[in-house]
Amino acid sequence: MPDDSRPSTGDLKMLTLSCNECGAPIDVPERTNFFTCNFCGSRLSVQRTEGASYTETLEALDRKTETLAREVEVLKLQNELERVDREWQEELKQYMVRDNNGNESVPTSGGSIIGGFVAIVFGIGWMVQAVSVNAPAFLPLVGLGFIGMGVYMGFSGYNKSLTYKAAYQRHLGRRDDLIRQLNALK
């Protein structure tokens, strides 16, 4: 007479695994993905490769997942920081001014005011000189052109320097925010 004390598993194939925490042998149905070890109470997942099946503690998987998520976030922030810096280098080009030798520099309010003042003084000197030598009437008007150019250069350069400073502060704010976020993740 057959022994009926053991329940029949029928077509249910069993997989014998070892608990990743305590090493106890555990029989689980072949299609099971998650289970709890009856010996130590660890929550486990079944990992399958082409040649082997094994268990992994779910808490360890959670830690790995959190670590990977943090690393992905760090990479995203680093890429964003590089993008912000590249965009600033492109934006910076529109604020640059050239000197007489063709060298580029960022505009300064003091330099703009001094440059405008020099042009105005030159224009006044031109007018005084033209009047003192009894030059034709149109020559003193050239001095007015220099004065107008000096006023324009002074104001436009000053405004450009203010616009540059505001844009630079925005860039630094975005950059500092990204660095703060990066430091919080590390």
**pLDDT tens digits, one per residue of 73-119:** 999 999 999 999 999 999 999 988 887 788 888 888 888 899 899 99
The reported pLDDT for the residue numbered 97 is 82
The reported pLDDT for the residue numbered 10 is 58
The reported pLDDT for the residue numbered 4 is 47
The reported pLDDT for the residue numbered 138 is 87
Tokens standing for residue 163? 């616009």
Which residue, among 164, 159, 94, 155, has the nearest Cα to 119 in the 3D structure? 155
**Quick check: pTM over 0.85?**
no
> CA-to-CA distance for 168 and 159, rounded, in angstroms?
14
The reported pLDDT for the residue numbered 51 is 85
In the predicted model, residues of the chain with pLDDT beneath 50 are 1-6
Which residue, among 103, 114, 100, 101, has the nearest Cα to 161 in the 3D structure? 114
Tokens standing for residue 85? 């810096």
Strands 97-98 and 43-48: unpaired
- Contact at 8 Å (CB) between 103 and 186? no
The answer for residues whose C-beta is within 8 angstroms of residue 116's C-beta and 6 or more apart is: 150, 151, 152, 153, 154, 155, 157, 158
Which residue, among 149, 151, 166, 148, has the nearest Cα to 107 in the 3D structure? 166
Average pLDDT, the chain: 87
> 83: buried, middle or exposed (CB in 10 Å: 19+, 13-18, 0-12)?
exposed
- Contact at 8 Å (CB) between 24 and 10? no
